[in-house]
Amino acid sequence: MWGKYLWRLRLLLTIPYLIFAIFMFSSNDNDNDYGYYWLAFVVYVLFSCVILHKMEKREKKEKK
């Protein structure tokens, strides 16, 4: 059941990566400190990886 929606979930969780990358690399101002943005990004990456891992585990379990 989850296999149909897993690719959509991956896409939804990847969109913020792209937005963050565009935001970070398009700014030319080197004086700003983006530490909080990086921290939020790392937390989001960990959170999305955990969600995807659990969903993939469920998909494998349901296929058996």
* pTM: predicted TM-score of the whole model, two decimal places: 0.63
CA 48 to chain centre: 5
Give the pLDDT of residue 12.
Answer: 79
Rounded CA-CA distance 29/52 in Å is 34
- Condensed to tens digits (0 to 9), the pLDDT of residues 4-62 reads 677 777 777 788 878 877 777 776 666 666 667 778 788 888 888 888 888 888 878 87
Counted domains in the chain: 1
Rounded CA-CA distance 34/15 in Å is 20
Give the pLDDT of residue 33.
Answer: 65
Residue 39 structural domain: 3-27+35-63
